[in-house]
Amino acid sequence: MRADPFNLNPDLLYPIIDATTVKRTRRFIKKHYASDMIRGPDGRMVPIRFPKPVASSIGYDLDAVLPGFFARLEEILMPEDGHPLLRLARYQAERYPAGGAGRGEDTALVGLLRSSLLKRFESSAEAFRRTVGRMVHEHEVFLEALERGRIVRKEFFQELSAAEDEGDIEEILAVSEQAEDAAAYDVARLRADVRADLALLREMAEKTAKVRPACDPKLAALVATLAAIAKAARDEAVDAEDERQKRKVLVFSHYEDTIDWIEEHLRAAIARDPRLAPYRGRVASVSGAEARGGVARDKALHGFAPVSTGALPPDTDDLFDLLLCTDVLAEGMNLQQCRNIVNYDLPWNPMRLVQRHGRVDRIGSPHPKVFLRTFFPDAQLDRLLNLETRVRRKLAQAAASVGVEEAPIERGAEAERSFAETREEIERLHREDASIYEAGGTEGAAQTGEEYRQELRRALAKYADVIRELPWRSGSGMRKGDRPGHVFCATAGERIYLRFVPEDATAEIVGELGTCLRLLECTEETRRVLSDEMARAAYDAWGRARRSIFDAWSFETDPANLQPKIRKLNRDVAAFLRENSPADIEQARLDRCVEAIESPWPRREENLLRLAWERPFATAADRARHIVEVVEGIGAEPFRAPDPLPPIGIEEIHLIAWMAIEHEDAGVPRAALTRPA
C-alpha cells in the first residue's frame, strides 16, 4: 500500500504472489514434469509437451509512412532538450490558478497521454489520426466553454457524447455538474496554451489524414507475411486439413482503431492477391465489442479454433483462418490449433507478448513449433525507445493526479533499472531471441517460489548433513551477471532478511526478496570464485547490510509508521459522516463504514467514492446514507495496522550466511578458489 504505483515491478510483488498463488511456469513444468502424462482432447494419455517457440522480426520503415513526421513528433511530445511544444493544458487546468505561479510539472494524466500518442503513432497512422481528431474536438469544446466563463472537466465530454445534439453546448453547460466557474483560473494564460495545443493537434491530424492504406509500408509487410505463412503451410502440409491448421494466424494490436485499419485493407488485399487466396471468406475480427462485422465474439473464436476452444454443436465448423484481435484475447483463451501470431505493434510491454504467446504455446498443441512474429521499425527503433524513456521518466516524476502526497518515484535508481530492463527485453525480441517465451516471462515475472522450493528439496535430500554442520556467517562467492556485490542472509527476532549490497558504495542496498533470490540463483555446476578482494570487502558490506536491516526493523517499532496514508477525499468523507450521522443507521454500522473509508483505497474504488461524494442531495442525511450504501457495496474493509515490533539493538541482528558475486567479465584472480558453490 505504501509502494510507488509506477514501480509495481515483479520483484516488489514477488513475496505477495508467492504467498497467495501456486505459480508453475512453462520452464518449471518442462523441467520437473518432463516424463509425466496428461489426457489429450481425444481422451488418450499423451506426454506433457510444449511446442518450440520461434521468434522473428518484421521490419518496416516508420519514416516511409510520413517522411520527417517522427522528428516533428519528438519536438511536440518530448524533445531531448527543452520543453515539449504540446503542453496539453486542457487536461491540467489546475496548473493555471488565478494569480498563481507557473505551470510546474505535468500531471500523471498528461504523461500517460504523451505515451499513448507515441504508441498509437507507432501502431498505425489511423489509430493516431482518430485519437488526435477526438482531442481536436475536445479542445474546441473546451475553448467554447471557456469563452462562456466555464472550465469543463474530462467527465463533461461523456455528457456531451450522450447528448442528442452535441451542438447545443450552452444548454449542457448550464446544467452540467462537470463544469465550474472559470473565475478561479488564469483564463488568459490557459486560453493561450490550449489554443497553441489545438494548432499542433490540427497539424498532426491533417498530416496523418493523408496516409492511405496502399502506401502504408507496415500494411504491405503484413500482406507479405501472411503470403509467406500461407505458402509455408501449403509446402509443409500432408493434406488439405493439415494445411488449414498450419496457416491459421492471430494478428494482435493493442488498439481497436488499428484493427479496423488492418481489416479494411486486408479484406481488399485478400480479394485481389492470389497469394492470399486461402484466406478468402475466412477472416474474422474480435475486440471489446460483443460482435464485429456481424460475427459474435464466441462465433469468431469457435469458428477459428473449434477443437481447442471446445466448441459444441452447432458451432463446431472450422470457419476462419485469420483472426484479427485486440488484447481481449490475450488471456484465458485456448487457441493452440493456431501456430502463428503476428504482433502488429512494437512490444512496449514485453509481458503482453508473453500473454499473447500463451494462447498458442500450450500443452496439447498439434504443432511442434509455433511462430511469433513482431513488427519493429528498424531504422527508428532506438529513437522510439529513447523518446518513450523520456516520456516515462517525466511520468514517473508526476504526483499530482495519482493521489499520493509524495513523488511516485522515490527510488530513482530502481526505476531507471526497470526501464532499462524493459528496453533490453525489447531489443532481445528484435534480435529474434525467443528466451522470453521459453521462460514464460521477463526475468522477474518468470520467477517462481515453486522453483526455489524444488531446488531446496533436492539440496536437503542430498546435502542435509553438510548444510546442518555449516557454522553461521559462512560465506562463498561466484561469478555471474553484471551486478557485483554481496548478498547477506540474516535474522532478527523471528524474521529472516535478505540484503544485496552493491560493490559500488554509492548504489542503493536492495531489500526486495525477489531481486536477492534471483541474484543468488546458481546450479551445482556453478563454480565458486571468491577473490581476496571480495572476501575483505564482505566485512564493510555486512556492516551496511546490518544497518539497513536495523533501520527496517526500527521503522516498524513506531506505530505512526504503520498507519496508512489516507488521501484528502477519504478524510473529507469520513469527517462529513461523523458530523452528519443519519438517525436510521446504527452507530456501530456507521463507525465501521468510517473506519473503512479511513483506509488506503485503490484508484478505481476511490473514483466510485468520489462520484458518491460529489452527487447532489436535498439533505446532508440523504447524502450520508448514500455514501454508507456505496461504501458497503464496494466491500471496503477497515485497515488494521500490524502490531509494532519491540525495539532491538543492532547487535541482535545475526548473520546466517553470505555470498559474494563478482562481475561475469571479471578476470580470474590469483587467489581464486574453485570448489563447487
Q: How many residues appear in the chain?
A: 677
- Cα dist. 657→89, 266, 474 in Å? 55, 61, 5
For the beta carbon of residue 347, count every other beta carbon within 10 angstroms: 21
Look at residue 450 and tell me whether its pLDDT is greater than 70. Answer: yes
Which residue is associated with the grid cell 502504408? 216
Residue 672: per-residue pLDDT: 43
Look at residue 407 and tell me whether its pLDDT is greater than 50. Answer: no
> In whole angstroms, what is the distance from residue 409 CA to residue 11 CA?
16
Residue 199 or 25, more confident: 199
pLDDT tier for residue 155 given thresholds of 50, 70 and 90: low
**Adjacency order of strands within the sheet including 474-479:** 474-479, 654-662, 485-492, 495-502
Q: How are beta strands 369-377 and 283-286 bridged, if at all?
A: unpaired
Q: Is the CB of residue 648 less than 8 Å from the CB of residue 492?
A: yes
Percent of the chain at pLDDT > 70 equals 87
Residue 590: per-residue pLDDT: 93
Burial class, 300, CB count within 10 angstroms (exposed 0-12 / middle 13-18 / buried 19+): buried
Residues 6+ apart with CB under 8 A from 633: none
Q: How are beta strands 179-181 and 150-152 bridged, if at all?
A: antiparallel
Q: Is the CB of residue 196 less than 8 Å from the CB of residue 45?
A: no
Look at residue 428 and tell me whether its pLDDT is greater than 80. Answer: yes
Rounded to the nearest 10°, the torsion over CA 478, 480, 481, 482 is 50
Residue 27: per-residue pLDDT: 81
Over residues 279-337, the pLDDT tens digits come to 999 999 999 878 898 899 999 999 999 988 888 888 899 999 999 999 988 877 889 99
Over residues 350-373, the pLDDT tens digits come to 888 988 998 998 888 889 999 999
Domains and CATH numbers, the chain: 5-61+215-439 (3.40.50.300), 67-210 (no CATH), 564-634 (no CATH)
Query: pTM for this structure?
Result: 0.76
The three grid cell numbers given for residue 640, joined into one nine-digit string: 488494521
Residues 6+ apart with CB under 8 A from 665: 482
Residues 6+ apart with CB under 8 A from 401: 92, 107, 108, 109
The three grid cell numbers given for residue 364, joined into one nine-digit string: 496439447
pLDDT tier for residue 412 given thresholds of 50, 70 and 90: very low
The three grid cell numbers given for residue 474, joined into one nine-digit string: 559462512
Sign of CA dihedral 380, 227, 281, 297: negative
Residue 39: per-residue pLDDT: 81
The DSSP symbol for 373 reads: E
Residue 599: per-residue pLDDT: 87
Q: Taking residues 56-60, report their average pLDDT.
A: 95
> In whole angstroms, what is the distance from residue 253 CA to residue 325 CA?
7
For 22-36, 500-514, 551-565, 659-673, which range has the lowest pLDDT when averaged over its residues? 659-673
Residue 119: per-residue pLDDT: 92
Strand-pair partners of 661: 478, 485
Query: Comparing C-alpha atoms, which of 394, 365, 367, 233 is closest to residue 307?
Result: 365
The CA-to-CA distance between both ends of the chain, in Å, stands at 38
Residues 6+ apart with CB under 8 A from 303: 284, 295, 315, 317, 318, 319, 320
Helices (H), 556-586: 568-579
The three grid cell numbers given for residue 181, joined into one nine-digit string: 466557474
Query: Comparing C-alpha atoms, which of 126, 129, 120 is closest to residue 261?
Result: 126
Residue 615: per-residue pLDDT: 82
Q: Tell whether omega for the bond before 314 is within 30 degrees of 0, i.e. cis.
A: yes
Q: Is the CB of residue 563 less than 8 Å from the CB of residue 598?
A: no
Rounded mean pLDDT of the chain?
Answer: 85
Residue 410: per-residue pLDDT: 36
Apex 407 CA angle, 406 and 408, nearest 5: 110
Look at residue 133 and tell me whether its pLDDT is greater than 90. Answer: yes
What phi, psi does 676 have (nearest 5°)?
-55, 140
Over residues 22-45, the pLDDT tens digits come to 888 888 888 888 788 888 766 788
> In whole angstroms, what is the distance from residue 559 CA to residue 549 CA?
18
